[in-house]
Amino acid sequence: MEVLVVRGLRKRYGRVVAVDSLSLSVGRGVHGLVGPNGSGKTTTLKSIVGLIVPDEGEIVFRGEDLLGPRGWRLRGLIGYVAEVPVLPGDYSVAELLEELGFLEGFDRLSARSAARRALEEVGLEGLAGRRVRGLSKGERKRLYFAQALLRPRELYVLDEPFSGLDPEAVALARDLVARLGRGASVLLSSHLLREVEELASSVTIIYRGRVLYSGGLDGLAKASGGGLVAEISVDRVEEAARLLSGEGYSVRLSGSKLVVEIGSREEAARVVSLLSSKGFLVYESRLRGTSLEEAYMRLIASAARGGGGA
């Protein structure tokens, strides 16, 4: 069942169309939102959480129009983490969370314990008394995360939640997103396509404000025109790549591996045989579907050339 449905969203800033007729649906679990810088991801997310007022379109959450006159009543069910964690510096960490908790309906005592719990979840419990202006960028990002966790939400809107975090905090945030996705809906915008692929079951790819693809990860290969991929570890990898290119295969290098697009399992066996017959030493070969990154690159390249999306 869809928790969030966005239909025909459009937003202009002067002459620039940031988002154009954008539609997407988010069900239970994690839904990725990916696209190049300036493609309209943040505008879309800010429209959903009420920070930006779209020019046209409909945002339906739990069957109710978020842009309607009573849409604000549902905002307590949506948690939002901004890409840039700008927070009022003169509050202490605990004061800020307690105030926001109070505004969400907690009494003073419950707001305090909700703030403490949220800080524990993001690993900031030791900084409760510190002024926000004294926090590092990564700590502010975690604090922004904490305010979204003050109460369980039905939808979490996360705009680049991993940016500005150290590796340890990225791991913590990744686990947190995975956990949130098990009990609620998460709309996750990120440039880290591997993280998105690992966490999300569906994805929307946007480019210049328009949707190129929106749907399950399993449908990406077909939509992007990709199919199976053989990853082959081989000696003299560049020479092997030239050979396969000469034979008409689409080949690229990934570290010391060849990544070859193929049509079937049998074709993979033929490629390995060809390499062996030409004297190359094949150490390992693995068959897999098209990755999010490959589909993304293919779709974006096609759109940039003027092709349509799926």
Partner 1 sequence: MLKRFLVIEARRLISRGVVKALLVLPVAPVVVALLLRGRYLHVFENLRSIGIDTTRLWLVALGASPKGLGNVMSYAAGLVSGMALLNIANFAWLVSVIFAAYVFAADVSSGRLSLLVTRPVSRAGIVFSKIVAAYIVLLALFLEAGLAAYASFYIMAGQQSMPWLIPVYALVAAASSLPMLLATGVIGLRSGKSGSTIAAGLVIYFVLSLATSLLVTLPYLRAGDLQKTIEVSAYANAAEPIHSFMLPRLVLDAATSGLGANYTTFSIATSIPLKTLLLLSAASTTIAIIGLALAAAKYFERLDLRIP
Binding residues for partner 1, rule: CB under 8 A, are: 46, 49-53, 72-76, 78, 80, 82-90, 99-100, 102-105, 147
* Closest C-alpha among 214, 218, 206, 196 to residue 32: 196
Nearer residue to partner 1 within complex by CB, 83 or 195: 83
**Ramachandran angles phi, psi of 256, nearest 5°:** -95, 15
Q: Least separation, in Å, of the C-beta of 110 and partner 1?
A: 13
Q: Least separation, in Å, of the C-beta of 196 and partner 1?
A: 22
The two three-digit tokens of residue 173, written as one number:
């945030």
* Closest C-alpha among 228, 171, 196, 156 to residue 3: 156
Q: Least separation, in Å, of the C-beta of 232 and partner 1?
A: 46
In the chain, DSSP finds a helix count (H) and a strand count (E) of 10, 14
The two three-digit tokens of residue 86, written as one number:
């700008």
Q: Least separation, in Å, of the C-beta of 251 and partner 1?
A: 43
Distances (CA, A) of 38 to 1, 58, 103, 195, 211: 30, 22, 33, 20, 13
Nearer residue to partner 1 within complex by CB, 20 or 104: 104
Q: Least separation, in Å, of the C-beta of 241 and partner 1?
A: 45
Nearer residue to partner 1 within complex by CB, 68 or 183: 68
Using DSSP, state whether 46 is helix, strand or coil: helix
Q: Least separation, in Å, of the C-beta of 169 and partner 1?
A: 19
What are the residues whose beta carbons fall under 8 Å from the beta carbon of 202, sequence distance 6 or more? 26, 27, 29, 31, 32, 214, 215, 216, 217
Rounded CA-CA distance 220/227 in Å is 9
Nearer residue to partner 1 within complex by CB, 104 or 267: 104
Q: Least separation, in Å, of the C-beta of 5 and partner 1?
A: 20
Rounded CA-CA distance 165/138 in Å is 5
Nearer residue to partner 1 within complex by CB, 111 or 176: 111
Nearer residue to partner 1 within complex by CB, 6 or 78: 78
Nearer residue to partner 1 within complex by CB, 147 or 214: 147
CB 203 within 8 A of CB 26: no
DSSP state of 96: H
